[in-house]
Amino acid sequence: MYQISLVTAEEYSLPVLKQAVARHFSLLPQESLRPGMKVTIKPNLIMKGRPEMAATTHPALVKAVILHLRELGIKDITIADSPGGLYSKPLLMGVYEQTGMKAAANECGAMLNTDLGSKVFRIPQGKVCHEFDIIDPIGNADFVINLCKLKTHCMTAMSCGVKNLFGCVPGLLKPQLHYRFPEGEKFAQMLIDLSLLVRPGLTIVDGVDGMEGDGPTGGVPRHMGITAAATAENLYALDLVMCYILGFTPSQVPMVRCAIERELCPKDWRQVDIQGDRNAVRPLENLKKPATKKLNFASALPKPLSAIMDRYQGKLSPRPVIRVKDCIGCGRCAQICPAHTIEITKGKAVIVPSKCIKCFCCHEMCPAKAIDIKSIGFFRLFSKYSES
C-alpha cells in the first residue's frame, strides 16, 4: 500500500513546524532511525537566495527537523547539498549564509558540510545511467533526509522529492548529466535512477511557501500552506500527490510519468493512502505554470495540428533569452552551460541558439534574473488553444 503523510502549516514559525514534523514522524514508520546514526539533511540550496524568495528550503523547517532528530537521540547531523555552479568551500559558505542554513546549524547544533569529496556508486538497476558521482556527506550517511522545496520548474514542470536529489551530484558534474541526457524523457529516467541509488530514508516537502511560474529560481513565491512526507519506498507516490496539488497531470511531469511506467507508484493519486490532513489535498487555484517545452500541449490539439506540433516542437519550444540591459556579465551562465553555448562578449552574455540544448541551467543560475524563457508567437497560440 502506497502511503504518505500531509500536514498543513500556514507559517514558518518554529512551534508550528516542530508540531508538523512531529506529526509526520508519528504518522509514518521510522524504525530504521536510531541513536548513533550519521544523518545527513539534504535541503534544496540551489543558489544564494534569501528564504523569502522561496527558491530554497526554509531554514525554519530545517531547524524543526534537526530538533526532532535530537529528541530521538541523534547527534551526528549534517546539512549538505551541492548547489549550482562550482562545488567549492567559498560557494558553499556563501549559500549557507544567505539561505539561513548557517544560522540554523549554529542554533541547533548541526554541522554544515564543507567536505568537497565525492565517490562513484554503481546502480545496477539503472535504466539509462548505471553510475553516479555522489557527494561524500550523502554517500557516507547512515540515513538521508531529503528536505525538498515544492516548486514549478521550467525543464521538468515540477521540482519536489525526486528532482531535489540532483543536488547529490557534485558541482559541474550536473551540467554534464544535462548534456548526456538533454531530452526530457531520458533526463527524467536519469533522475529516477539517481533516486533509486540515493534512496533517502525520509523525504519531507516544504510547501508552506512554494514557487510558481518560471521556477526553480525565476518564479515567484506562492503560499501553499502544506508540508508532506514519505519514507523511501513512497517517494514517488509523494511526488504524484504533489503533482496533483500543483495542477499537473502525471503525464506532464516527466519524473512522475517515468515512475508510473516503472511501477514505482500508482497511476492515480487517489490510490495513495494519505495520512494526516487529507482534506488539504486539492489543486491550487490559478497556479502560474512554467514556460516549459516539456508540457505536451500538442496532445490536446486535433490530430492534424498535433502532428505539426510534434514535427516542429524542437524549433518552436521555449528557449532561454538574455535581457541584455539586465545582464551583469558575471559569467555564471557560461560556467554552468553543459553545451558550452554561452560566451561573455563586451561584458554581456551571448547564447548561440543553434547549440542550445534547452536545459535552462542558465536561467536557474543567473543571479540577476536576466534570462527569460520565451517561445515564438504561434507556439503560444497553440498553447492557449490546448488550455481552452
Cα–Cα distance, 93 to 97 (Å, whole number): 6
Cα–Cα distance, 42 to 50 (Å, whole number): 18
Query: Using the 8-state DSSP alphabet, how is residue 183 labeled?
Result: S
Main-chain dihedrals φ then ψ at residue 3, nearest 5 degrees: -145, 135
- What are the helix (H) ranges across the chain? 14-27, 59-71, 89-99, 101-108, 136-139, 161-164, 173-180, 184-198, 235-245, 254-261, 303-316, 332-336, 361-365, 377-387
Cα–Cα distance, 302 to 282 (Å, whole number): 29
What pLDDT is recorded for position 300? 38
What pLDDT is recorded for position 84? 85
Cα–Cα distance, 5 to 386 (Å, whole number): 34
Cβ–Cβ < 8 Å for 3, 28: yes
pLDDT digits (tens, 9 = 90+) for 195-206: 999 999 999 999
Mean pLDDT by runs of 10 across the 388 residues of the chain is 97 98 94 93 96 98 98 97 92 97 98 97 95 98 98 96 98 90 93 98 98 96 98 98 98 97 98 98 96 46 50 61 92 87 91 83 84 60 39
Tell me the Ramachandran region of residue 157: left when phi exceeds 0, alpha when psi lies from -120 to 50, beta otherwise: left
Structural domain spans, the chain: 3-280, 297-387
What pLDDT is recorded for position 309? 46
CATH architecture of the region 297-387: 2-Layer Sandwich (3.30)
Which of these CATH numbers, 3.40.50.11440, 3.40.50.300, 1.20.58.740, 3.40.50.11810, describes 3-280?
A: 3.40.50.11440
Cβ–Cβ < 8 Å for 361, 320: no
What pLDDT is recorded for position 106? 98
pLDDT digits (tens, 9 = 90+) for 122-151: 999 999 999 999 999 999 999 999 999 999
Write out the three cell numbers for 79: 546539512
pTM of structure: 0.83
- With b for 16 or more beta-carbon neighbours within 10 A and e for fewer, the 60-92 pattern comes to bbbbbbbbbbeeeebeebbbbbbbbbbbeeebb
